[in-house]
Structure 1
Amino acid sequence: MGQLIAPNLRAAEVADASSLTALALEVWFATYVRHGINAHFADYALSHFTPERFRQWIDDPDRSLIVSQNRDGIDGFVLMDRNSPDPVNGTVQTELTSLYIQPRHQGRGLGQALLEAGLAAQDGPVWLAMNSQNSTARAFYHAHNFTKLGEIAFKIGDQSYPNDVFVHA
């Protein structure tokens, strides 16, 4: 494990949109694309993670986007959506949409700090969906008192990927 650092957390600003886009693309490809980048995954990621979409999320009063800022720039973020019922039974309204840390900054406490900040800003339980094969994320969320609520299929185009849904009460 790397050296534990005290992150500087703050609310995202519209000016952060391009940095957040680049970070999201870096983390998403590093996490989910294991055998080479093809158009299927590239098209999805490039259409989903855009500066315009991040600007919309930052401006949305139902969402909170908190970033970790080091001396050179943003190295992680957590995105929460308070108007997103869970896909299993629809009773948990707040989704932890994304918790992304640049790979080279993982293992130093940023994920925990961002998770705690995201959870502290919510009233009530929070749910998230994660790829069923992501054992690192599974261990992280279990260690932070998330429990499995159910399973869903995450779709990209005409392909489906098993996801586990977890809840933190």
Structure 2
Amino acid sequence: MAAVSLEVWLNTYIRNGVNAFFADYALEQFTAARFEEILSSANETIWVSQNSIGIEGFIRVSLGSVAPIDICSDVEISTLYVQPRHQGNGAGRRLLETGLEFCASTGRPNAWLSVNAGNERAADFYSRNGFEKVGETHFQIGDQTYPNHVLRFRLL
């Protein structure tokens, strides 16, 4: 999952060369140790999509995650990553459906996520799958901030 995260994140956000600032962030965040820590938490759940060779994507749902918008519950779809060469084959949709089934089982009225404001492909995917934009937030790396849309999916 760390390798998939590194590949997807760099492919999605780093277009003009990897500088030390982004390399340091990615290499710190996307590690096997970090995923072991996530998986050891009772509030974190991850499902993977795999083919005969290995993992092609995963979804992570976090419970108890304070939303940046007060009309959202504490259920966050923290991550949905699918390797670029597997995007468009239905893996992302299947992972999202699985994650949303779990979110619905919690009894919360909705689930939320944030998506980079410049990632139109992802925002369109979520919109086609029933999410609505309900606000804005920012993703922070060090002293730099990047605008993100807050999207909500009504479960009830």
Smaller-chain TM-score range? over 0.9
> Among 141, 144, 154, which residue is 2:139 paired with?
154
1:18-167 pair list within 5 angstroms: 20-89=1-70, 91-122=72-103, 123=106, 124=108, 125-167=110-152
Q: TM-score, normalised by structure 1?
A: 0.86
Provide the aligned length of Structure 1 versus Structure 2.
Answer: 150
**Runs of 5+ unmatched residues, structure 2:** none
C-alpha deviation, 1:80, in angstroms: 0.5
Percent identity, aligned pairs only?
45
**Runs of 5+ unmatched residues, structure 1:** 1-19
Distance in 1 of aligned mates of 2:130 and 2:71: 20
C-alpha deviation, 1:149, in angstroms: 1.3
Please give the root-mean-square deviation of Cα atoms over the aligned residues, in Å. Answer: 1.0
Q: TM-score, normalised by structure 2?
A: 0.93
Question: Which structure's relative contact order is higher, taking Cα pairs within 8 Å and 6+ residues apart?
Answer: 1
Tell me the amino acid that sits aligned with residue 129 of structure 2: H
Tell me the amino acid that sits aligned with residue 79 of structure 2: S
Distance in 2 of aligned mates of 1:91 and 1:101: 25
C-alpha deviation, 1:60, in angstroms: 1.2
- Give runs of ≥4 in structure 1 deviating > 6 Å: none
C-alpha deviation, 1:58, in angstroms: 1.4
